A = this chain, B = another copy of it.
Amino acid sequence: MGLDAAGEHLGALTWTSRKVASRQHIFHQGDPQRYVYLVKSGFVRLYTLLSNGRCQIIGFKSADDYVALQYYPEHRFSAQAISTVELQCVPVAEFYAAASRDPQFMLKLFNVVGEDLFRAHDLVLTIAKRDAEGSLASFLLAIADRAAPNSKTEFVALPMRRGDIADYLGLTNETVSRIFTIFKKRGFIEVRGRHGIRLINRNGLRAVTDRTVGLRKNSELDRPELAGPAV
């Protein structure tokens, strides 16, 4: 998914390296989009600012993730470093011109956005009609899996602050804090300083994950029927 996998045509592109200090913005929502970015190291948070000043975090990006992978004149959200970040940047016009010449790469980009879409849907599932414990449990498991897929390591880095998690899950930092304490007391996790935890009991978290509110026995939902064009 990184530069290496970008196909031969892209090697010729004018990638520029850029280092961004923690808390600095990479770009702002509404800015004209000049570059497509690829994260090399560090963590980035993407957020939208509403007219009333509210901040909703819509995702976190880390190494090998693309940022602002869209073909649109202006940025639709803001991107801010939450740790020291190293990026590679390529001018948008050049990027898409090259991609258009390489259908295989274009398909790959299509898939990357498709994954982002899937993640966005997942975020909706995580926050809608789920109680706060469920949301946080879901988040912790997801971030652990994303950092080290099918790994059994217990340590998980949490580079973002509690407030960032709250702004991501649609909670308040107080609630996030309280639930960390609850999970700690139940022996699900162990807090290692401010930027990391150890997942001691993943199954405990998984059990919490299924809890929801607002569930109504919705009839006729998933009855297998024939798919495809024939009737």
Tell me the bound Cα distance from A150 to B195 in angstroms: 47
- Chain A stretch 192-222: residues in CB contact (< 8 A) with chain B: 210-212, 214-218, 220-222
Given A210-B52, A222-B78, is A229 in contact with B16 using a C-beta cutoff of 8 Å?
Answer: yes
- Per the bound structure, the CA–CA distance linking A34 and B113 in Å amounts to 21
- Against B, the Cβ 8 Å flags (1 = close, 0 = not) of A85-109 are 0010100000010011101101101
The answer on a CB contact under 8 Å between A55 and B221 is yes
Q: Are B89 and A31 in contact (CB under 8 A)?
A: no
Q: Which residues of chain B have C-beta atoms less than 8 A from A137's C-beta?
A: none
Across the interface, which residues of B come within 8 angstroms of A216, CB to CB?
A: 163, 172-173
Task: Say yes or no: is A48 at the interface (Cβ < 8 Å to chain B).
Answer: yes
Report the count of interface residues on A (CB-CB < 8 A): 83
Interface string of A69-97 (1 = CB under 8 A from B): 01110001110000000010100000010
Question: Is A129 positioned at the interface, with any CB of B under 8 Å from its CB?
Answer: yes
Judging by beta carbons under 8 Å apart, are B128 and A170 in contact? yes
10 more contacts with CB within 8 A, not counting A18-B230, A128-B170, are A28-B222, A52-B215, A55-B221, A77-B121, A89-B228, A89-B229, A100-B104, A113-B113, A117-B117, A120-B121
Chain A residues engaging chain B, CB cutoff 8 angstroms: 16-18, 23-29, 31, 34-35, 47-56, 58, 70-72, 76-78, 87, 89, 96, 99-101, 103-104, 106-107, 109-111, 113-114, 116-118, 120-121, 123-125, 127-129, 163, 166-167, 169-173, 210-212, 214-218, 220-225, 227-231
